[in-house]
Structure 1
Amino acid sequence: MPSIMIADRDPNERTGMGWLVSSCAIPYKKVLSAGTMAEVFQLMESQTLDVICLELDMIGKGQWERLKLLVEQYKPTVLVTTAEATFERAMQGIELNARDLWIKPQTPEYIRRVLTRCCQERSRRNQLNQEESGAPGVVREVSYQDLFFPRPLQGSTYALMLAQLEDPKRHPELLRFFEDYPFRDKPILLPTSDVIVGVFSVEDPEASALLQQTAKRLLMDWETTGDSPLFLVMYDSQELEQSLYEKYKEASEALSIRFFKGYRQLWVVENQINWATIDPFLTPSEQRLWVDMLHGGDPEELKQWMYKHFSYKEEPFPEPGLLRIRLTSILAQVRRYMKSHGLEQGELEQEYHQVFETILYSPILYRIVVELLLFIQALMDLVQNQRDEVRPDVIEQAIRYMERRYSDSDLRLEDVARHVDRSPAYFSTLFTQKQGVTFRQLLTMLRVKEASRLLMETSLSVGEIAQQTGFVNANYFSKIFKEKTGTTPRLFRNRKKR
């Protein structure tokens, strides 16, 4: 039977752990304890220790390298405990090839299960070592290091199951569910801060189909016992040369599929996820369309546009981060709509920031779209109800007018001032104060921005682009374009083609 050392600065912790081992009849033949690192080193060098339960907080700076050498030399099963739930402590556990990391306080039932499992695993390993004494190729046990470092594993092909709850605080409950679940072949469970990893040994091709069936059944069984939605990724690549580190990296990326599919799903992947490339920003024409839709006051038109552009049913999916940027680009147009009607204050301002937070952090795309549409609907209703009371912002009206008319080469400041019912002199001063640039500078910026898009996305000639963007002629367009971008239109287009 294996032996265990309990190392902790707190004598009550050591006594309690020892009592737990003896009272629960966990079959360790010898239970030793240590209160200092000096005692730890002495016991490791003088005793045969199969399992070490070690408090990380007791390790001094000058003692770390010696401890790692002893762990590497004697190869005990290491369990680490800490009161600090930090990335640094987790990395220390990984460096020691720890079997598990306990954040104090931990429940006695969980400690009992882990210690029992470690005892059984060490017993089997000792038996194998005795049976295969002197024989090469003994397969070592999978650990956290295999997930986070590219180390070779010989003798088996592995499949990974990644389980993630919408409420990560419920992961200890999910872990207990997995530990008690009647798997045909029990996986090695390696919980991390945001996901529970199950490592399955796959000996034949038929096992893959069985694993998928098991995962589907597990998902349904969890739904009957838990109310926190679960998302599962099954990664089952048959590449023998692929390390667990590579599989875990690709499986972790596949977790992002829940952004499109939602929870209560099983997603099976066999290769790396290939995200589709999209432009995350609204084009000038899309910006103008959004301005028109918002001021048009038709929520159904907005809803159909959103559903058309943000409904993804199958691969390849766009990278979720790019979609979040695109949604914030839309929210920027909504912000302008709020400002033009004097609505950037009070509860609406708080709701705007809540929608912004939802776009950045909500795990499900559909929820983001719904929250954004509900917010826009509320704004439109308020504008409709208070149309006579709320005075639109003059400069925002002027910019909207310029965005619609910049292609007119005869557009002048006087025309825009007349549109917003202000004198040219007053309008010019107010415009510069609010925008930080002059009317002419902003008009040129709008024209150059649209010209840049046309150069990249169309085959129109330079002369045609100059005409469509409000420049007097091609020569003047080329001169202004070079002043603003540092290059000529033709060089700009050629550079984008490379």
Structure 2
Amino acid sequence: MPSLLIADRDPTERAGISWLVSSCAIPYDQVYSAGTMAELFQVMEAHTPQVVCIELDMIDKAHWERLKLLVAQYRPTVLVTTSEATFERAMQGIELSARDLWLKPQTPEYIRRVLTRSCRERAGEARLDAQTGSIQGRRKEISHLDLFLPGQSPLGGHKVMLAQLEDAKRHPELLRFFADYPFRDEPVLLPTGDAVVAVFPAESSLSWSQWHSFAKRLLMDWEATSDAPLFLVIYKAEDAGQSLQQKYEQASEALQLRFFKGYRQVSMVDGRVNWTMLDPFLTPAEQRTWVDMLHSGNREQIKQWLYGHFFYKDEPYPEPGLLRIRLTSILAQVRRYMKSHGLDSAFLEKEYHRVFETILYAPILYRIVTELLLFINQLLDAANSRNDEIRADVIERALRYMEGRYTDPALRLEDVARHVDRSPAYFSTLFAQKQGSSFRQVLTAMRVKEAQRLLLETALSVQEVAERSGFVNANYFRKIFKEKTGTTPRLLRNQKKR
């Protein structure tokens, strides 16, 4: 029977685990204990225990390399414990090829199960015949290193399943559920920071449809015992030349499909996810649409716009990161609406930042759009209730007016001043102070920006681009365009073609 070493600075922890081993009759031949690194090294070198349970917090930098050397030399089954749920501790466990990592305090039942399984695995190695021993040996060698280091694992047809809860803090519950689950082909379980990875043996003979049925049944069994939403990815590529690291990397990318599908779903993938690309920023026309929708308070139009642009039913889906940027681009227009209407109360400011955080980090697209829509409705309600009190900023009103009419070559400062009910001289001074540029410079910049867009996105002639951008004639347009951009309209279009 194998022997066990318990290395922990706390004598109570050492005594508790020793008592658990003896009271539960876990068949370890000998149980050693160590309270310091010196004692740990002495026991490992003198008795070479087959299973080592180490408290990561007791390992200092001076002894780290020696410990790794002994683990590599004697190849025990390593179990690590820690009271710090940090990335650094997880990486230490990976470097030691740890079979399991548990956070203190851990339940006696979980500790008993891990120690029992480790004992049986080590005892079983000695009893297996050569063929079975070879298979089990390969399975036992699978560790976190195989997931993160290229070329670390032996090549083979291993199947990979990733399970992710909405609340990552509850992953220990999921790990215990998997440890007790009656799998047809028992997987190697490797918890990571954001998911639980199950690596199934290469000899598994399930078909593609059987894998899907198995995943659905597993999801139903989990939901029968827990209220934590679960998302599953089954990666079943047939390429035997892929390493586990490659499969894990592609399966991890597929976890992002939950952004569109939500939890309580199963995604079956056999390669990289094919995301579609899109421009994450609003076009000038879309910006104007949002300005008009917000200032008119057209709630139904806003809802239909969001639903039409962000609800996807079928693959391929857009890359989630690009959609988050696009949503922040919309939120920027909402922010501008807040400023122009004086909607800067402490409550609405707090809600704005909450929605911004939701766009950046919320795992489900539908929830993000819903939260954004609810916030916009809050703003519209606040604007309606304060119509008599809130006065839009003069310059913001002027800019909105200019954005809607800059393509008119006859647009003058006097026209805009009249719109905001100010004298031309006063408006001109105020505009320059607020914008840092003169009225003419800002108007020209709007026209040049629109001209750039038309040159890159349309096949219109330079003459037509000039007219649609608000310039009097093509010659004047070419001159101003080169002054502002450093290139000519034709060169800009040719650069795009190249």
Bin of the TM-score, shorter chain as denominator length = over 0.9
Alignment map for 1:146-157 (pairs within 5 Å): 146-154=146-154, 156-157=156-157
* 1:92 to 1:152, Cα distance in 2 relative to 1, 3 A: closer
CA RMSD of aligned residues (A): 2.0
Is 1:206 the counterpart of 2:198 in the alignment?
Answer: no
User: Residue 201 of structure 2 aligns to a residue in which SS?
Assistant: strand
Is 1:50 paired with 2:50? yes
Secondary structure of 2:390 counterpart: coil
Q: Is the 8 A contact 1:77 1:118 kept in 2?
A: yes
- Are 2:300 and 1:300 aligned? yes
What's 2:422 paired with? 422
Q: Helix, strand or coil for the counterpart of 1:139? A: helix
Which residue of structure 2 lines up, in the alignment, with residue 125 of structure 1? 125
Aligned equivalents of 2:288, 2:123: Cα separation in 1? 71
Tell me which residue corresponds to 2:184.
184
Q: How does 1:330-345 map to 2 (within 5 A)?
A: 330-345=330-345
Which one is further off, 102-111 or 475-484?
Answer: 475-484
In structure 2, the partner of 1:483 is 483
Q: Is the 8 A contact 1:156 1:203 kept in 2?
A: no
CA positional deviation for 1:218: 1.1
Match of 2:144 in 1: 144
Residues 26-425 of structure 1 mapped to structure 2, 5 A cutoff: 26-128=26-128, 131=130, 139=138, 141=140, 142-154=142-154, 156-203=156-203, 206-425=206-425
| Cross-structure match for 1:432 | 432
Letter in 2 for 1:229: P
State the secondary structure of the residue aligned to 2:238: coil
Deviations 1:298-339 (A, max 9, x none): 211111111111111111111111111111111111112222
**Closer, same or farther in 2 for the Cα pair 1:136/1:146, shift >3 Å?**
closer
Residues 206-236 of structure 1: per-residue CA shift (max 9 Å, x gap): 3443332111011112222211211111111
Q: How many residues align?
A: 497
Residue 301 and residue 71 in structure 1: after superposition, are their counterparts in 2 closer, same or farther (change >3 A)? same
Distance 1:84 1:371 in 2: 34
Q: C-alpha distance in 1, partners of 2:257/2:485? A: 39
* Aligned-partner SS, 2:38: helix
2:92 counterpart letter in structure 1: Q
Pair 1:450-2:450 in alignment: yes
Three-state SS of the structure 1 residue aligned to 2:232 is: strand
Shift of 1:241: 0.8
Kindly tell me: are residues 477 and 146 of structure 1, through their superposed partners in 2, closer, same or farther at Cα, counting changes over 3 Å?
A: same
Look up the SS of the partner of 1:197 in the other structure: strand
Q: 8 Å contact 2:155–2:242 — kept in the other structure?
A: no
Contact 2:164-2:232 within 8 A present in 1 as well: yes
Letter in 2 for 1:102: W
Separation in structure 2 between the aligned mates of residue 26 and residue 207 of structure 1, nearest angstrom: 38
The question of whether the paired residues in 1 share the 8 Å contact of 2:155 and 2:241 is answered with no
Fraction of identical pairs, as percent: 68
Q: How big is the shift at 1:154?
A: 3.6
Counterparts in 2 of 1:39 and 1:382: CA distance versus 1, 3 Å: closer
Q: Which runs of 5+ in 1 are unaligned?
A: none
Distance in 2 of aligned mates of 1:137 and 1:464: 73
TM-fit CA distance, 1:36: 1.9
- Cα distance between partner residues in 1 of 2:207 and 2:29: 37
Q: Work out the CA distance in 2 between the residues paired with 1:74 and 1:177.
A: 31
Residue pair 1:280, 1:326 contacting (<8 A) in 2 also: yes
| 2:81/2:103 contact within 8 Å kept | yes
Contact 1:406 1:469 in 2 (8 A): yes
Q: CA deviation at 1:59?
A: 2.2
One-letter identity of the residue aligned with 1:88? E
Q: Deviations over 1:331-357 (max 9, x none)?
A: 111112222221122322222222112
Moved more, 181-190 or 381-390: 381-390
Q: Kindly indicate whether the alpha-carbon contact (under 8 Å) linking 1:139 and 1:155 is maintained by their aligned counterparts in 2.
A: no
Amino acid in structure 2 at the alignment position of 1:200: F
8 Å contact 1:160–1:198 — kept in the other structure?
yes
Distance of aligned partners of 1:193 and 1:261 in 2 relative to their CA distance in 1, 3 Å threshold: same
Assess, with a 3 A threshold, how the Cα gap between structure 1 residues 272 and 9 changes in structure 2: closer, same or farther. Answer: same
Tell which deviates more after alignment, 178-187 or 485-494.
485-494
1:492 counterpart residue number: 492
Distance in 2 between residues matched to 1:278 and 1:297, nearest whole Å: 28
* C-alpha distance in structure 1 between counterparts of 2:17 and 2:216, whole Å: 38
DSSP 3-state at the match of 2:33: strand
Shift of 1:432: 2.2
Letter in 2 for 1:444: T
**SS of 1:314's equivalent?**
coil
In structure 2, the residue corresponding to 1:206 is in which secondary structure?
Answer: coil
1:144-182 per-position Cα deviation (integer Å, ceiling 9, x unaligned): 111111235447411111111112222122222222222
Measure, in 2, the Cα distance between the counterparts of 1:401 and 1:201: 67
For residues 323 and 209 of structure 2, the distance between their equivalents in structure 1, rounded to whole angstroms, comes to 34
> Displacement, 1:121?
1.3
Structure 1 residues 271 and 104: alpha-carbon distance in aligned structure 2, compared to 1, 3 A threshold: same
Q: Do residues 474 (structure 1) and 474 (structure 2) align? A: yes
Using the alignment, how far apart are the partners of 2:363 and 2:139 within structure 1? 37
SS in structure 2 of the partner of residue 116 of structure 1: helix
- Is the alpha carbon distance of 1:184 and 1:133 closer, same or farther for their aligned partners in structure 2, counting shifts above 3 Å? closer
Cα displacement string for residues 401-432 of structure 1 (whole angstroms, at most 9, x for unaligned residues): 11111111222211111111101111122222
**Alignment check: 8 A CA contact 1:80 1:101 kept:** yes
Secondary structure at 2:484 match in 1? helix
TM-score between the two structures when normalised by the length of structure 2:
0.95
Alpha-carbon distance in 2 for matches of 1:137, 1:154? 13
* TM-score (structure 1 length as normaliser): 0.95
User: Retained in 2: the 8 A contact 1:287–1:333?
Assistant: yes
3-state SS of 1:303 partner: helix
- Residue 136 of structure 1: how far off its partner (Å): 11
Where does residue 18 of structure 1 map in the other structure?
Answer: 18
CA–CA distance in 1 between the matches of 2:80 and 2:182? 28
Any conservation in 2 of the 1:231–1:265 contact (CA below 8 Å)? Answer: yes
Cα deviation per residue 1:348-400 (whole Å; 9 max; x = unaligned)? 22222221121111111111111111221222233233323322221111111
